[in-house]
Amino acid sequence: MARNRRRTSRQQRGASAKVAQQHLIEILSSPLDHHHEVVDSAAVHLMKISRRHRLSIPSESRHLVCRKCWIAHSIAGRVRVRIKAGQRTTTCLKCGSIRRHGGGPKFHRSNRGDV
Ligand SMILES: [Zn+2]
């Protein structure tokens, strides 16, 4: 009689994880509509869900969470962004972890031809 208790299949779990991920990303993307605690717990949940289900976080949403300490980076004042030598440098103001995006120190020079 109890055979049909587990109605959600593996596939369905993966799908609902994606829906949850999308929902958390929405919260993270609009931090002004939510309390900071909500946004922060959304960040933690997003990282946990993505790990548990081995989902990758969409590249356009990766900047929303610190990969090291898992705080929401979408909240103003949590992160410092600088453009340095053609790279975008993101510094987490809580744990101090630095991430660099794009280019590289010599990337922007390749076509310059300065002597
Ligand atoms: Zn951090």
How many A from CA of 15 to the centre of ligand 1?
29
Structure tokens at 53: 């289900």
Instruction: Give residues whose Cβ lies within 5 Å of ion ligand 1.
Output: 66, 68-69, 92, 94-95
d(CA 1, CA 5): 9
> Whole-angstrom distance between the N-terminal and C-terminal Cα of the chain?
82
The fraction of the chain above a pLDDT of 70, given in percent, is: 83
d(CA 15, CA 9): 10
With a cut of 60, say whether residue 2 has pLDDT above it. no
How many A from CA of 78 to the centre of ligand 1?
9
Please, which residues bridge with residue 101 across strands? Answer: 88
pLDDT for 81-108, tens place per residue? 999 888 889 999 999 999 988 776 566 5
How many A from CA of 106 to the centre of ligand 1?
27
pLDDT for 29-42, tens place per residue? 999 999 999 999 99
CA count, 13 A, side-chain hemisphere, 37: 0
Q: Of 23-27, 41-45, 57-61, 98-102, which range is least confident?
A: 98-102
Instruction: Give how far Cα 57 sits from Cα of 48, 61, 91, Å.
Output: 11, 7, 19
How many A from CA of 34 to the centre of ligand 1?
20
